[in-house]
Amino acid sequence: MKKYILFSISCCIMSIIAAQNKPAYILYNANGKKVSYKKMIRSLTKKDIVLIGEFHNNPISHWMELEITKDCKKERNLVLGAEMFEQDNQGALNLYLQGKITSNGLDSMARLWKNYPTDYSPLVDFAKENNIAFAATNIPRKYASLVSRRGLEALDSLSTEEKKWIAPLPIAYDPELPGYKNMMVMMAGHATANMPKAQAVKDATMAYFILQNFVPGSLFIHYNGSYHSENHDGIVWHLQQKRPELSIATVTTVSQQNLHQLLKENKNKADFIICVDEDMTSTY
């Protein structure tokens, strides 16, 4: 009997070790050194603003966003914000957070992303349950599309009311920023000179509404596509232009076949890098 119990325990231990050899993700710092989740949280909770760059269809990205938010809440008062809500939908989002409309009402009044029920409603509901402000930071899509077609100058034709939903004009734009240059390279043959400008107006608007909703003494956590904050570019650049004294940290997601060593091209993309198995299933 004793031998059977020892054998069973040994089997359990071997199963645990085997599972640990096939992790869903591994966490790294900017230099490519493995780092514990607890250490990352200790670092993030000392900042003013944290930008979490996600893969929009990656379940590990979304799970980590929620877990990071929950654990930061244990240490700091929070304000949340997201690319996934456009600024002209802030009113509807506020009504939901205040319990004045249902989730169906929010779906009717706001332009929710198709993966909202699975990937973003847990964040919004956490904010609702804990009385946390949640900012809609993104530019309405039709105005970003306008810039993509006609350039930043096209924004001058907007009404005073419409301009309230974007960063103040003129939009700061540096075509030499790595993210904007890389966009032209990646879309070679398909990109126009206005495409990175459309990206810039999104970055500038998100940065503007982060700062508009920032509360001194609280930690602002922002959720956005990884490209908007990788390499401390995009949103980060605009934040630093306006408020260089603020302490900002970035988290991003990358995908690799081998999780156990961060590839050179993925180093320094963020302060903390969630390296996900490239075979991870997607949410859409």
* pTM, rounded to two decimals: 0.91
Work out the mean pLDDT of the chain and round it to a whole number.
92
Higher-scoring residue by pLDDT: 64, 17: 64
Q: Are 81 and 133 in contact (CB under 8 A)?
A: no
Mean pLDDT, to the nearest integer, of 82-88? 98
Region 12-29: mean pLDDT is 67
Q: What pLDDT, on the 0 to 100 scale, is given for residue 187?
A: 74
N-term to C-term CA, the chain? 50
The model's pLDDT over 39-58, given as tens digits with 9 standing for 90+, comes to 999 999 999 999 999 999 99
pLDDT confidence of residue 189: 65
Q: Is the pLDDT of residue 113 over 90?
A: yes
Does 6 have pLDDT greater than 90? no
pLDDT over 70, % of the chain: 92
| CA geometry: angle 277, 278, 281, nearest 5 deg | 90
Residue 165 and residue 139 in contact, taking contact as beta carbons nearer than 8 Å: yes
> Mind listing the pLDDT tens digit for each residue in 154-181?
999 999 999 999 999 999 999 988 888 8
Contact 36, 93 (CB under 8 A): no
| Domains of the chain, CATH where assigned | 23-277 (3.40.50.11550)
Paired tokens of 234? 């995009």
Q: What is the pLDDT of residue 184?
A: 80
Structure tokens at 235: 């949103």
* Res. 21: pLDDT tops 60: yes
Dump the DSSP string for 208-249. HHHHHH--TTSEEEEEEEGGGTGGG-THHHHHHHH-TTS-EE
Whether the predicted pLDDT of 137 surpasses 60: yes
Distance, in Å, from the CA atom of 2 to the CA atom of 10, rounded to the nearest integer, reads 12
Q: Is the pLDDT confidence value at 118 over 70?
A: yes
Average pLDDT over residues 212-216: 98
